[in-house]
């Protein structure tokens, strides 16, 4: 079964609303954590063929910081929090109240990585709690994997985890930024075919 043939306008509407609610909860948590307002875009639902994925986060050779959280329970999904490299440095600086910025990945120490991971964990929990309540599904997040790498490499890894025999991936994408545009990031919730059917069946009760 091809995910490209299964998505309908009604399902897209359901998934967009779910993305707005999940991301909204996560961005509110981020605003609270930083003590300042963070704005978000309206969620978009995208389906891309595998060969098109490398450009989803912009130039595939750009370095980004990514927190990858696998989702278990009644859905099989992956939640990806992607930050531009400078935004990741800015986020850690603000949380730790450090002066100055790191210039290279090598400038990040183990504690800085742990701060990113814990931030990803908090925001993933906020996102998934909202989604779980909305869809009435049990969702269990894994411990975040935090990496700084080229965007194309990170998305290729994610595709390998989720595509299996499918030739496309479906994902809900939300962008966020602070008022100074020093923090720029993207939330992506990736669903496989079975999870797409499960969540839209559950959300469908609101449209009956």
Please report which confidence band the pLDDT of residue 129 belongs to, taking 50, 70 and 90 as the band edges. very high
Which one has a higher pLDDT value, 208 or 26? Answer: 26
| pLDDT > 70: percent of the chain | 82
Asked if 47 and 168 touch (Cβ cutoff 8 Å), the reply is yes
Q: pLDDT per residue over 139-160, tens digit each?
A: 998 888 888 888 888 877 777 7
Q: What mean pLDDT do residues 80-95 have?
A: 85
Output the pLDDT for position 97.
77
Q: Compute the Cα dihedral for 179, 56, 45, 165 and give only its sign.
A: negative
pLDDT for 138 = 93
- CATH number assigned to the domain comprising residue 14: 3.40.1550.10
Q: How many domains does the chain have?
A: 1
**Least confident window among 94-98, 154-158, 163-167:** 163-167
* Residue 179 CB burial class (10 angstroms; 0-12, 13-18, ≥19): exposed
Max Cα-Cα span within the chain: 54
Instruction: Please report the pLDDT score of residue 28 as a whole number.
Output: 92
| pLDDT for 6 | 65
pLDDT, averaged across the chain: 81
User: pLDDT by residue (tens digit) across 3-40?
Assistant: 556 677 888 888 888 889 999 999 999 899 888 888 98
Average pLDDT over residues 164-192: 78
What pLDDT is attached to residue 54? 62
Asked if the model's pLDDT at residue 1 lies above 50, the reply is: no
Global pTM?
A: 0.83
User: Which tens digits make up the pLDDT trace of 49-78?
Assistant: 666 666 677 778 888 888 888 899 998 888
Is pLDDT larger for residue 173 or for residue 6?
Answer: 173
Residue 8 to residues 4, 12, 19, 45, 87: CA-CA distances in angstroms? Answer: 9, 6, 16, 11, 35
Task: List the domain range (segments joined by +) for residue 36.
Answer: 3-207
């Amino acid at each position: 079964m091809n995910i490209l043939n299964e998505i309908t306008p009604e399902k897209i509407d359901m998934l967009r609303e779910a993305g707005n609610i999940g991301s909204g909860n996560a961005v509110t948590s981020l605003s609270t954590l930083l003590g300042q307002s963070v704005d978000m875009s309206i969620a978009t639902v995208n389906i891309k063929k595998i060969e098109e994925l490398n450009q989803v986060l912009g130039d595939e050779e750009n370095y980004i910081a990514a927190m990858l959280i696998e989702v278990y329970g009644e859905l099989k999904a992956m939640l990806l929090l992607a930050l531009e490299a400078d935004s990741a440095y800015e986020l850690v600086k603000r949380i730790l109240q450090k002066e100055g910025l790191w210039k290279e990945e090598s400038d990040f120490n183990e504690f800085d990585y742990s701060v990113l991971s814990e931030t990803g964990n908090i925001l993933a929990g906020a996102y998934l709690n909202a989604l779980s309540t909305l869809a009435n599904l049990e969702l269990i997040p894994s411990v975040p994997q935090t990496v700084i790498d080229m965007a194309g490499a990170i998305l290729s890894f994610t595709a390998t985890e989720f595509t299996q025999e499918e030739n496309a991936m479906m994902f809900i994408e939300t962008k966020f930024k602070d008022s100074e545009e020093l923090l720029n990031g993207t939330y992506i919730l990736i669903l496989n075919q079975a999870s797409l059917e499960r969540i839209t069946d559950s959300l469908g009760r609101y449209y009956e």
